[in-house]
Amino acid sequence: MVETNQTGLWPHLYAPLRGLSTKLSEWLSPASDASSDDRVYRISVELPGVPEDALELTVDDGVLTVTGEKTATREDKGETWYFTEREYGAFRRSFRLPGDADAGKAEAHMKDGVLEVTVPRRAPEEGRGKRIAVTKG
């Protein structure tokens, strides 16, 4: 008689599916780059075929989120062949902004299928910290 561990059997069967939702969302998420200099943060998101009016950009609690929907179609015909390809689906991409980002002054521009978001950096605040005296007590 072969003994099987019922609690150990099921996890092995589902192992290939573990993380599938994360992989699927990564596959649908557009490629992006982020960089900064001493004045601004820059985020570039590749969105070929996505019109500006199909995008929504929001900032909430220090997180910049880009949402939209891809609806691209390509069709090729030849004498003896026919090919069509469709790419569609909703996407969402979020970026946590650093503490010195001034999200209220963020700007976004679309050019050649690439969304460019710039977020200015706030100047360091003088006297932001407070020194606390220690007394004997």
As separate numbers, helices (DSSP H) first and strands (DSSP E) second, the chain gives 2, 7
pTM equals 0.65
In a domain? residue 78: yes
- Report in angstroms the alpha-carbon separations of 122 from 62, 112, 129: 14, 30, 16
Count CB neighbours of 110 within 10 A: 14
Range of the domain at 20: 15-120
SS3 of 26, please? helix
In a domain? residue 105: yes
List alpha helices for 15-52, DSSP H.
20-28
Q: What is the pLDDT of residues 77-107, one digit of tens each?
A: 777 767 666 667 788 899 999 999 999 999 9
Domain count, the chain: 1
In a domain? residue 4: no
In a domain? residue 76: yes
In a domain? residue 5: no
In a domain? residue 136: no
In a domain? residue 137: no
What CATH number does residue 53 fall under? 2.60.40.790
Q: What is the pLDDT of residues 25-58, one digit of tens each?
A: 555 678 899 999 999 999 999 998 888 988 999 9
The beta strand positions in 51-136, using DSSP E, are 55-60, 63-77, 82-96, 107-111, 114-120
